[in-house]
Amino acid sequence: MEMPTPDQNILNRKADIVARLQGILPIGCVIHAPEETHAYECDALTAYRCPPLAVVLPETTEQVAAVLKLCHQQGLPVVPRGAGTSLAGGSMPTADAIVLGTAKLNDVLETDYDNRFIRVQSGRTNLSVTGAVEENGFFYAPDPSSQLACAIAGNIAMNSGGAHCLKYGVTTNNLLGVRIVTIEGEILDIGGAFMDAAGLDLLGLICGSEGQLGVVTEATLRILPQPEGARPVLIGFDDSEVAGACVSDVIKAGILPVAIEFMDRLCIEVTENFAGAGYPDCNALLIVEVEGSDAEIDAQLARISEIAERYNPVEIRASRSAEESAKIWLGRKSAFGAVGQINDYICLDGTIPVSQLPLVLRRINELSAEYGLQVGNVFHAGDGNMHPLVLFDANKPGDLEKCEAMGAEILKLCVSVGGCLTGEHGVGVEKRELMSHQYAPDDLDLQMSVKDVFDPSWLLNPAKVFPLSASASRRASEAAQ
């Protein structure tokens, strides 16, 4: 992974910089010893790592502002970090960067059930937001699969999705306001506990900007009343194209499931061996979950089953109880872990128009044969967000590179059929160089000019999102300052 050459001047000044950071932060909030900064050398994209110059873990918004002000004055790159669960290398450091972690910002500041919002510090984990309101019958809807560990700060930076976003939307649809600190150290409130923030939609712009526009320290989030209940139906097919057609018909029929998940034969077999969920022997499997009262769920599952029957399914298994639901979900939830047992893999995240599913699955099979690498498909079928898992052997020289090349081919395929490179993981360093396949130079230039406004010296998370060659002149003018 090509990263900008670290600034030797900054590396030489490490002792002085650490002392300045220690001067503005409480004891224990600055990590600088090499044996300790190693913990921050990568996120969940573990193939690439680089220890940062130092790590700071501020305890208040004001301390974040002081750190950013210092970094701005000193010309130090800043890599914001939530919980470090990015699969795209969104918080991968450079050797001359200060990692600014939100780990100590995890308080709940306000809960308001009448107005249906919660205000939290951004380092709080996704699941613990729901944890703070569930006793009162509410939940926070976006549920990325890393929700036990991932932080709201990272969710906002990447505009994270999850299994339930077919019905409830992704982070941007559930975010009402932020407190954000600019690279100059200015603290701004954008939006709040009301709908549709005033003026230009800066909130929508900040969400998904991968930590390149500012550091979010507080978030006001929409919370929703829990449904009365939820149950899935499992449907097996002999053919993935048929499964795709069934998904389309369910959606067209006006049923709005909370989730429609798809698994192909490889994933079904691997998870069956791993978890023993009792899945049928078939080529494509759908799990469709609906919500409501018991009677409502029965009625919706009956409608879905009726549609599925038209496609000659291998099996339809509607859950009648919490135990049966858990069993249906068991295989799907253990899919990534199960595949990890048989080999190393990279998890892609392209989105395609649902109508292109048959074509894309066929083409992925061809690529798999061409490259000699196995691919498992497990994904959110309702919204076309695919997660092909390309298997490789990390101990075999050249296999990772081959796997990445094949991954890039699949993502280009997603773009060429009308989709995009990433549906919920973000661009990070991983897909940076592929951006020019989705966007023309003018499109990228205008996006980069947004960063020019928020962060004129390109200090915040500088080598992410945009192809290095496209951002080179902007980053160079920063270094010259």
Partner 1 sequence: MIPTSEEALAEAVKSASGPFAVRGNGSAGVVSDHPVLTAKGLTGVSLYEPGALTLVVKAGTPVSEVETVLAAENQRLAFEPMNLRGIMGGTEEGTIGGVVASNRSGPRRLAVGACRDFALGVRFVDGMGRIIKNGGRVMKNVTGYDLVKLMAGSHGTLGVLTEVSLKVLPMPETSATLTLHGLSDAQAVAAMSKALGSPYEVTGAAHAPVGPDGSAVTVLRLEGFEESVSYRAAALQGFLGLRCAQQIEADAAIWEWVRDAQPMHYPEGNVWRLSVKPSDAPDVVARVPAQAALYDWGGGLIWLRCAEDVDVRAHMAGVDGHATLVRGASFARFHPQSAGVAALSKGLRLKFDPKGLLNPGLMG
**Contacts of partner 1 in 7-36 (CB under 8 A):** none
135 binds partner 1 (CB under 8 A): no
- Tell me the sheet residues that pair with 236: 285, 315
- Tell me the sheet residues that pair with 390: 346, 375
Distance in angstroms (rounded) separating the CA atoms of residues 76 and 78: 6
Other beta carbons within 10 angstroms of residue 229's beta carbon come to 14
Distance in angstroms (rounded) separating the CA atoms of residues 290 and 15: 57
**Residue 347 in 3-state DSSP?**
strand
Q: Which of 249, 315, 344, 478 binds partner 1 (CB under 8 A)?
A: 249
- Tell me the sheet residues that pair with 232: 289
Q: Which residue do the tokens 């210092």 mark?
A: 70
CB of 425 to partner 1, least distance (A): 7
CB of 201 to partner 1, least distance (A): 5
Interface mask toward partner 1 for 158-177; x: CB under 8 A: xx-x---xx--xx-xx----
Residues near partner 1 (CB under 8 A), total: 92
Residues numbered 299 to 318 that lie near partner 1 (CB under 8 A) are: 299-300, 303
CB of 144 to partner 1, least distance (A): 12
Q: Which of 24, 251, 314, 342 binds partner 1 (CB under 8 A)?
A: 251
Q: Which of 27, 453, 480, 481 binds partner 1 (CB under 8 A)?
A: 453
Encoded tokens for 215: 């550091």
295 binds partner 1 (CB under 8 A): yes
Q: Which of 131, 185, 192, 340 binds partner 1 (CB under 8 A)?
A: 192
450 binds partner 1 (CB under 8 A): yes
**Could you tell me if 94 and 63 are in contact, meaning their C-beta atoms sit under 8 angstroms apart?**
no
185 binds partner 1 (CB under 8 A): no
Distance in angstroms (rounded) separating the CA atoms of residues 459 and 76: 7
Distance in angstroms (rounded) separating the CA atoms of residues 221 and 138: 12
412 binds partner 1 (CB under 8 A): no
Residues numbered 197 to 226 that lie near partner 1 (CB under 8 A) are: 197-205, 207-209, 225-226
Q: Which of 36, 186, 281, 306 binds partner 1 (CB under 8 A)?
A: 186
Q: Which of 8, 73, 341, 449 binds partner 1 (CB under 8 A)?
A: 449
Interface mask toward partner 1 for 106-125; x: CB under 8 A: ------xxxxx---------
98 binds partner 1 (CB under 8 A): no
293 binds partner 1 (CB under 8 A): yes
Alpha helices in 193-284 (DSSP H): 202-206, 240-252, 265-275
- For strands 230-237 and 315-318, give the pairing: antiparallel
272 binds partner 1 (CB under 8 A): no
Look at residues 76, 136, 81 and name the one whose alpha carbon lies nearest to residue 478.
76
Distance in angstroms (rounded) separating the CA atoms of residues 132 and 101: 22
